[in-house]
Structures are given as structure tokens and as C-alpha cells.
């Protein structure tokens, strides 16, 4: 019995159309994970703006807030020692959050030190910008 060619014959138009669709799909897929980095955001908040209650931020952990439409992550390094950073990852602008005593960007697995915002690992090129804060009467304010 002779072998049969089961490969369908496509017209030139069909081949070119499939190639264009494939190329567009690859371009869209790569755009989501491009190597382009996001510049460290400028964090401009007014001084004296209430961020949130200090008691809401766990010791050796952190919590996200929004201050003047700026996403902020506040950490409590040790009992009573608070730090605040931009919650926008310096890699591609995803939001970061505190988990397992580190600041983490779930988009591309960047990890930041909760005491100073420095990059511990991942594709993020620069530390998270620090936001000056102070605690008065159990409330965190921008400084």
C-alpha cells in the first residue's frame, strides 16, 4: 500500500495570513514580558497626609496604602520602626506588596528589602523609592 500525504495544501494567501497571525501573537506575547524597565517613580506626596493606623501594619511585615493617589507599602521593621516605599515596582510598574517579611512583585518575581527598599533579587534594576513618614498618636503620616 502506498503512503499518502495527509498534509493539507494551503494557498499562498492562507500561508501568508497564518504567518501574519502568528507574528502578531508572538509580538503581543513578548510585549507583556519585554526587557524594558520602568524608571523609578517620583513619589510626591504632601507632608502631613494621613497614611493609616500604625497598629494595622504587622511587625516584620507590611501593608499597602494609597496616599494622594500614590500606591505606598509601609513596613514595620521592628516594633515601632516604620518605613514606607513606593509600591510601584521599578522593573515594569506592577504593584508590590509585603509577604513573608519581604516586599514582593508578583509580576516578575522581584524581591525588595523591607528595611531600605533595595533589590534583593529579580529583574528590578533599582530600589523602591523611600517615602518619609512619621508616627504620631498611633497614626502614620507623610513627613
Q: 107: domain CATH number?
A: 2.102.10.10
Q: Residue 99 domain-assigned?
A: yes
- Which residues lie below 8 Å from residue 70, measured CB to CB, with a gap of 6+? 43, 44, 45, 86, 131
Instruction: List, for residues 36-54, the tens digit of each pLDDT value.
Output: 444 444 555 689 999 999 9
Q: Which residues pair with 140 in a beta bridge?
A: 52, 135
Whether 85 maps to a domain, the answer reads yes
pLDDT at 100: 84
Is the pLDDT assigned to residue 33 strictly greater than 70?
no
Phi, psi of 85 (to 5 degrees): -140, 160
39 within domain boundaries: no
**Phi-psi group of 38: left, alpha or beta (phi > 0 → left; psi -120 to 50 → alpha; rest → beta):** beta
Provide the mean pLDDT of the chain: 80
Answer with the residue of higher pLDDT: 108 or 22.
Answer: 108
Q: Is residue 12 part of a domain?
A: no
Is 126 part of a structural domain of the chain?
yes
User: Distance of CA 124 to CAs 30, 52, 100, 104, 136, Å?
Assistant: 18, 27, 19, 11, 33
Q: Is 18 within a domain?
A: no
Query: Would you call 91 exposed, middle or buried from its count of C-beta atoms within 10 A (0-12, 13-18, 19+)?
Result: buried
End-to-end CA, the chain: 85
What does DSSP assign to residue 123?
S
Residue 92 has pLDDT above 90, yes or no: yes
Does residue 94 belong to any structural domain of this protein? yes
Full residue range of the structural domain in which residue 84 is found: 50-142
How many domains, in total, are found in the chain? 1
- The half-sphere exposure of 95 on its side-chain side, counting CA atoms within 13 A, is 10
Please check whether residue 1 lies inside any domain of the structure. no
Amino acid at each position: 500500500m502506498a503512503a499518502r500525504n495527509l498534509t493539507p495544501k494551503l494557498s499562498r494567501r492562507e500561508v501568508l495570513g497564518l504567518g501574519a497571525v502568528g507574528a502578531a501573537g508572538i509580538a503581543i506575547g513578548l510585549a507583556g514580558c519585554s526587557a524594558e524597565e520602568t524608571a523609578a517613580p517620583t513619589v510626591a506626596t504632601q507632608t502631613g497626609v494621613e497614611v493609616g493606623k500604625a497598629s494595622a501594619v504587622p511587625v516584620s511585615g507590611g501593608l499597602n496604602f494609597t496616599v494622594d493617589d500614590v500606591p505606598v507599602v509601609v513596613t514595620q521593621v521592628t516594633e515601632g520602626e516604620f518605613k514606607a516605599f513606593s509600591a510601584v515596582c521599578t522593573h515594569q510598574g506592577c504593584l508590590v506588596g509585603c509577604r513573608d517579611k519581604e516586599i514582593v512583585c508578583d509580576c516578575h518575581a522581584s524581591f525588595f528589602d523591607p528595611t531600605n527598599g533595595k533589590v534583593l533579587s529579580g529583574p528590578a534594576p533599582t530600589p523602591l523609592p523611600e517615602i518619609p513618614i512619621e508616627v504620631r498618636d498611633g497614626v502614620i503620616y507623610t513627613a
